[in-house]
Amino acid sequence: MLATLQCLLLLPLGVLASTPVPNAANLQLASVHAAVAPLASGEPLYTKFADTPVPIASITKVMTAMVVLDSGQSLDERLTVVKRSVKPPKNAYSRMRIGSDAKRSDLLRITLMSSENLAAYVLARNFPGGLDAFVAAMNTKARDLGMHHTRFVDPAGLWPENHSTAADLVRMVQAAHRYPLIREMSTTSQHDVHFRNPRYSLSYGNTNSLVRSPRWDVHLSKTGYLSEAGRCLVMVTEVEGEPLVMVLLDSLGSRTPLGDAGRIRRWLETGDGGAVARDALNYERSRTAERAASLNGTGNAIP
């Protein structure tokens, strides 16, 4: 019964360039929710529980970056690192020293590439009107993009109440890709930030190892993790010569979304998606069964 439901949800709905989409039954993913679509059209090639709102963790920071850039504030302005006004529900350790300062551009870059949570908070706090105005701007932007099943309550994704769907996130990634700085910053492999007051430097690496792989041409990237959200990844990458949006939500291990990305590419190139490791598959089946029990058969959660 579950397999039948999954097949109904995974019917291919588009084409990649002029080539017919392979049989969806040949693609098995470890992620519980997924959407794959050409960047240009956004018409899905593959979906899996793509209309179910779920926690999205640090995928949130893609919207944070758009709101920062939309504000027009100087990227050269130095911002002071301050403590959060409200303690987050999750561990939010940061190596940045309270009271030191760094350029807004550096804080934005490490927010995207290295998922620095305190940097995201500092960016939001320095928005005109402060943190509350920033979160309101995030939700306004989501509505403007047609992300009707999305809600933000913080700029970093530390609160599991930040919800979206895989389908909504395709829209968000399409919009973010139109920002050259988001493309460049989110795919930076490594970056050193030079702080002042006191003077010190910190080195940051990208949380998506595929940006460093010669086998991948990644145009935009963001990872995320909370226990409620599982491991998540949104990415724009070249497949068969065409930029493709991949949204992968809720999988078991840190490398599992990367494996799913590889399975998607293989599926589109050869028609065979390959296999999922046992532990990751067991996690997916358990979580998928939970989702299936809450669906009405159309991919939408039962009210």
Contact call for residues 155 and 123 (beta carbons, < 8 A): yes
3-state class percentages of the chain: helix first, strand second, coil last, to nearest 5? 35, 20, 40
CA 55 to chain centre: 11
- Cα dihedral sign, 47-51-55-61: positive
Cα angle, residue 231 at apex, residues 207 and 8 outer, rounded to 5° = 130
Out of 31, 48, 58, 186, the active site residue is 58
Is the peptide bond prior to 198 cis by the omega test (within 30 degrees of 0)? yes
Q: CA-CA distance, 254 to 192, in Å (whole number)?
A: 24
Active site residue 115: yes
Residue 128 CB partners (closer than 8 Å, separation 6+): 71, 73
Angle formed by the axes of helices 117-125 and 104-113, nearest 10°: 140
Active site residue 186: no
Active site residue 213: no
Contact call for residues 217 and 237 (beta carbons, < 8 A): yes
Out of 114, 115, 164, 221, the active site residue is 115
DSSP code, position 252: S
Out of 61, 103, 141, 222, the active site residue is 61
Residue 250 φ then ψ, to 5°: 70, 80
Q: Which residues are catalytic?
A: 58, 61, 115
